[in-house]
Structure 1
């Protein structure tokens, strides 16, 4: 397991809100919340332990990101033991959040209305460029591509796309996103965003806009290519 320490959390923020925000990074094992006795503003400090070290690595990218009224400070927990090797918990066919490109995770966070710092978005892009994405995610993309090749496009076009809950809940949800997206002209750009490391921070905001629009019932064909400044949060 891997842990992080989050400080400068506003006292009005609940443990549930903290959990919802950091669950974008991956599966959370435990959260302990307390008042920061060293802070005069009665801010909170949280210790968050993830099931996978990759989730903690993603969480570190969220340093200086706004959670409610304040920008939180996210640091590695110096007291945490080195993570032990664990069995793959995705044997049931679901795609783990930790297997996704970091830039894709940032796009999901933005699509839910959170305001990420420019640095967080850029760091996610640089992380993907340096480390690539997991072999499991590449396998997932190949699986989607193979299914699309043998599936009749008419049935995919007639299917009404609808997302309830976080986009990272199940592998099938993300599969449907690709299936619907690839039926129109923007599909190749969406596919490239997840498969290629040659992207920029602005691409993260474009993908966030598409994800937010699709949750409101718009298809990729309805969604224009926005020219967003890298600092502009997505409203939903």
Structure 2
């Protein structure tokens, strides 16, 4: 029998459907099943990983369909050791491997309402558990691969845009114009890290030192990236939009973890 990690969601709005719950909680990680009948105020969401369930618990007090939901669990889901050795990343990063603050930013960018108390919980979880080894491996591989390809051997994109804070913007723009990073990068992370604000993006995803304001700022960058992909003009400093389908958001139809936010 496959082990799942359940959370109980209560105070659900009468208009909330099973698909709404699925869309909402897919940001936390892969879902095995949802026990819910529309009209009931309570549902149980079963996740494949303990880390996904722990992410869901941080959403206690979040808003879904206008209702402030309660997310609890009778089971104590184990912490996962972020220093656990992982092999070289060779595929899409899973939602459950991402920093919790990054997941919270995805929620805000998608238009969900999370209070600053919820955002602070995400920060506290990152401070407690660190950034997962798998995510850091993915990020560093991306940074090194793109840096070597677009700038030069043994170069990183994050290093290029953060060498000197005062000249970071002009450096990043110059590199982008010369190398066509915006056109060659294929996902949100690679485009964001090569933007004039790449040093901020790098720090946000690889460091546990952040504030609620930083989550709001990253949510704005993600939202502007989506807007640009749909034909709107990006805000100043927003990373270029991804040319890939769906912008890499969680796909509830497959529950496959996205490559990017």
- TM more than 0.5: yes
Matched, 1:75 2:100: no
Matched, 1:195 2:206: yes
Q: State the partner residue of 2:91.
A: 93
Structure 2 contact 89–134 (Cα < 8 Å) conserved? no
Deviation at residue 157 of structure 1 after TM alignment = 3.0
Output the TM-score relative to the length of structure 2.
Answer: 0.69
Kindly tell me the number of residue pairs found equivalent between the two proteins.
198
How far, CA to CA, are the matches of 2:190 and 2:235 in structure 1? 11
Structure 2 contact 195–237 (Cα < 8 Å) conserved? no
Measured against aligned partners, the alpha-carbon deviations of 1:38-64 in whole angstroms (never above 9, x if no partner) come to xxxx64211110000000000000001
How far, CA to CA, are the matches of 1:182 and 1:33 in structure 2? 40
Q: Name the SS of the counterpart of 1:17 in structure 2.
A: helix
How far, CA to CA, are the matches of 1:183 and 1:93 in structure 2? 21
Query: Which of the residues 132, 146, 153 maps onto 1:134?
Result: 132
Q: State the partner residue of 2:44.
A: 47
Structure 1 contact 210–223 (Cα < 8 Å) conserved? yes
Deviation at residue 158 of structure 1 after TM alignment = 3.2
Deviation at residue 150 of structure 1 after TM alignment = 1.4
Query: Which of the residues 55, 59, 77 maps onto 2:56?
Result: 59
Deviation at residue 219 of structure 1 after TM alignment = 5.3
Runs (5+) with no aligned partner, structure 1: 36-41, 162-172, 225-236
- Give the root-mean-square deviation of aligned CA atoms: 2.6
Q: Name the SS of the counterpart of 1:44 in structure 2.
A: coil
Matched, 1:223 2:219: no
Q: State the partner residue of 2:102.
A: 104
Q: Name the SS of the counterpart of 1:19 in structure 2.
A: helix
How far, CA to CA, are the matches of 1:114 and 1:20 in structure 2? 11
How far, CA to CA, are the matches of 1:207 and 1:195 in structure 2? 13
Q: State the partner residue of 2:20.
A: 17
How far, CA to CA, are the matches of 2:225 and 2:6 in structure 1? 33
Runs (5+) with no aligned partner, structure 2: 80-85, 151-175, 240-261
How far, CA to CA, are the matches of 2:125 and 2:16 in structure 1? 29
Question: Which protein has the bigger strand share?
Answer: 1
Q: Name the SS of the counterpart of 2:93 in structure 1.
A: coil
Query: Which of the residues 1, 5, 10 maps onto 2:8?
Result: 5
